[in-house]
Structure 1
Amino acid sequence: MSFKLGLIINPYAGIGGALALKGSDGKEIREKALAMGAKQLAPERTRQALSVLLPYADRLDILTASGPMGEDLCREMGFRCRCIYQSPAQSEPQDTENTAQALMAEPVDLLLFAGGDGTARNICSAVEDKVPVLGIPAGCKIHSGVYCVTPKAAGRLVEMLVQGELVSLLEADVMDIDESAFRDGKVRARRYGEMRIPSELRYVQAVKMGGRESDELVLEDIAAHVIEQMDDELFIMGSGSTVAAIMTEMGLENTLLGVDLVRHQQLVASDLSAGELLEAIQGQPAKLVITLIGGQGHTFGRGNQQLSPALIRAVGRDNILLVATKTKLQSLNGRPLIADTGDAELDKALSGLIPVITGFHDQVLYPVASPE
């Protein structure tokens, strides 16, 4: 008996991330990103997920949309597929909804989709709880709980279903934020509904936990530890409220949802793109200060795509300063941190125990993984 898999790829998901555009919603942002040389990453991240399923190709019937929304990749990889929706050359959010509606007329066992929170909203409006869904993380904004922690993790979870393993079904929230406010440094998250997902705790991410750390003294101690290390190197200051606390302690303006550059405790440049960051550190030592997403544990690949694989390699694992309160780490309930850079080899290199700065001269070792 074949497993009927619905597949939808949003080809433009995440296209603005590496260029510091803070999202991909809207034709104007998409065209701006393409004009700036942005690459479409969603098809490649879908390939990573589907590669896990290649041994089961003869047991899969994939139903999808034409062209880059699914059919092209399926045929290229050798999967048996049937096109149930003709998408235009440049797809729009409505095409995602139309494809999802067309899939609802078919007896699919699971709807697998690649995108971000905007894509999840489109899927939710058409699907609701009619069929289980599972998201491949490919967007700039991924606050929703319907996504797996990495593309390969999505493939592994589908593999469990294809093999007939017992997998729990849970209701997961679909969240999204106002991108206009997001670009102004404000996070306004809203719940748009929920969808049913197959759940395995190693593979499915939690809904992002927001809010500023309540223990200001701990953040001041973390800031003091990092500032003490600031000598001649360039310091790449990642996004998030914990890193923002370090910038505040130095009296510097901070791009809460972007990446800034500091030297000698002075602001060198603000809100840099992936290319600008890589150019800025060429030929000189640099350190990278990052935090993790509360409740999820992601260090790379969630809202900080400006920190490209090339940049991370140039900085080096030993020059990554990971900062978080112990409360934030405890909220993970023992789950490892996640590296999801989009480069599988780099994710493996980043895996293992890593020191986390949790106070002044206070660090703990915590595992980093990239579930497959």
Structure 2
Amino acid sequence: MCRLGLVVNPIAGMGGRVGLKGTDGKVEEARARGAEMRAPDRAREMLTELADTGADVSLYTWGGLMGAQVAADAGFDPDVLGHPDGEATGPEDTRRAVRAFLAENLDLILFVGGDGTAADVAETIADAGEQTPILGVPAGVKVYSAVFAVTPEAAAHVAVSFDSTERAEVNDIDEDEYREGEVHTELRALATVPVAPQRQGSKQLSSGTVEGLAEGFVEDVEEGRTYVLGPGGTLGTIKEKLGIDGTALGVDVYRNGEVLVADGAADEISDALGDRNTVVVSPIGGQGFIFGRGNQQISPEIIRNSEVEIVASRRKLDDIGALRVDTGDADLDESLRGWQRVRVGRYETRLMEVV
């Protein structure tokens, strides 16, 4: 029997779709912008896949939206070890749940959230002097740490099949700095994690010039076409070559020499789309994600109504090996998989597989 703990940070990722680049200290603003909870759905996807594996699982969790509710929805009858203090949950609720899991000597602790949740879980285990393995189900806006499965479904399979562990980094960033276009990662903890190819790597910032790539892109820009320009350094160079003051870590919409939307949320981007649209993204260094990490503003609806262009330096592609997607829409993810052409220079492209 596999004995698993599950804790869900229900507010994780709420700021992504509405352009807040995180939810720390921004829950009420996210709700005011119409944000909906994302983490419970991600937990439900993982648990549904976990049930489908047919593995003999004993599930332990925390009350309400922190695990018990979605576990019941997925057909589990978990041991509920406690409940959050109030309707609004916070980091201490996560830490209390983890301490309760440690007392049960479980095989693995699954958590649903982003880097902040990962840090809460890992630090609690370290403070207790334990090395219980953990695995993240990605639901946050920032998912830089190397303790997450690549998708909720992958987390389910890793949870019931891993046979060895290793140490991995838990990194977090200051969200206020992130919103201002600055990324300063901080190593928060080292955690024990399952060894599995379905676990993502730690985000690395790529170096090297992308001048030629950006110049080639600008030469190919079409009049009348709407460009949804994603975040990141490579896209920052493209925005500079276009002559616009782009948002370094946000999503901008450009057409006919003008910025239609700066640092837009999903609904603003959708409203700005035209008859011909192209979403331009660059994979995250060290991980390979082109959708689902740091650019949730580019919603499935936007992707479905656009062509997709991927841009990256050769060095970045060499480091990641393959591209990945995690849009939250399984059908869309499947349609994006396969071989995709990536612009790597002024005229050069490279075929890369989306897995």
Decide: shared fold, TM above 0.5: yes
2:301 is matched with which residue? Answer: 310
1:164 is matched with which residue? Answer: none
Please give the secondary structure, in 1, of the residue aligned with 2:105.
coil
Q: Which amino acid aligns with 1:366?
A: M
Whole-angstrom CA distance in 2 between matches of 1:126 and 1:193: 10
Q: Tell me the alpha carbon deviations over residues 247-302 of structure 1, each in whole angstroms, 9 at most, x when there is no partner.
A: 11122111111001111233232101001001111x52111111000110000000
1:104 is matched with which residue? Answer: 102
Length-normalised TM-score, structure 2:
0.96
* Structure 1: stretches of 5+ with no match in the other structure: 162-166
Indicate if the aligned counterparts of 2:12 and 2:37 stay in contact, CA closer than 8 A: yes
Indicate if the aligned counterparts of 1:227 and 1:265 stay in contact, CA closer than 8 A: no
Length-normalised TM-score, structure 1:
0.91
Whole-angstrom CA distance in 1 between matches of 2:168 and 2:100: 23
Shift of 1:168: 2.4
Following superposition of structure 1 onto structure 2, how do residues 66-105 of structure 1 map, counting pairs within 5 Å? 66-87=63-84, 88-105=86-103
Indicate if the aligned counterparts of 1:109 and 1:131 stay in contact, CA closer than 8 A: yes
Indicate if the aligned counterparts of 2:261 and 2:268 stay in contact, CA closer than 8 A: no
Whole-angstrom CA distance in 1 between matches of 2:220 and 2:278: 10
- When the two structures are aligned, how many residues end up with a matched partner? 350
Pick the aligned partner of 1:361 from 335, 342, 347: 347
2:277 is matched with which residue? Answer: 286
1:60 is matched with which residue? Answer: 57
Q: Which amino acid aligns with 1:186?
A: E
Following superposition of structure 1 onto structure 2, how do residues 210-289 of structure 1 map, counting pairs within 5 Å? 210-211=205-206, 213-214=207-208, 216=209, 219-231=210-222, 232-281=224-273, 283-289=274-280
Indicate if the aligned counterparts of 1:57 and 1:80 stay in contact, CA closer than 8 A: no
Q: Tell me the alpha carbon deviations over residues 175-220 of structure 1, each in whole angstroms, 9 at most, x when there is no partner.
A: 000111011000011001111000212x011100025x32x2xx12
2:183 is matched with which residue? Answer: 187
Indicate if the aligned counterparts of 2:261 and 2:269 stay in contact, CA closer than 8 A: no
2:328 is matched with which residue? Answer: 342
* Root mean square deviation, CA, Å: 1.3
Please give the secondary structure, in 2, of the residue aligned with 1:53.
helix
Indicate if the aligned counterparts of 1:52 and 1:159 stay in contact, CA closer than 8 A: no
Pick the aligned partner of 1:172 from 151, 168, 178: 168
* Structure 2: stretches of 5+ with no match in the other structure: none
Whole-angstrom CA distance in 1 between matches of 2:167 and 2:7: 20
Shift of 1:4: 1.2
Identity %: 37
4+ residue stretches of structure 1 with deviation over 3 A?
55-58
Indicate if the aligned counterparts of 2:44 and 2:73 stay in contact, CA closer than 8 A: no
Whole-angstrom CA distance in 2 between matches of 1:7 and 1:325: 38
Indicate if the aligned counterparts of 2:166 and 2:192 stay in contact, CA closer than 8 A: yes
1:118 is matched with which residue? Answer: 116
Whole-angstrom CA distance in 2 between matches of 1:20 and 1:311: 14
Indicate if the aligned counterparts of 1:104 and 1:130 stay in contact, CA closer than 8 A: no
Q: Does 1:199 align with 2:183?
A: no
Q: Which amino acid aligns with 1:253?
A: D
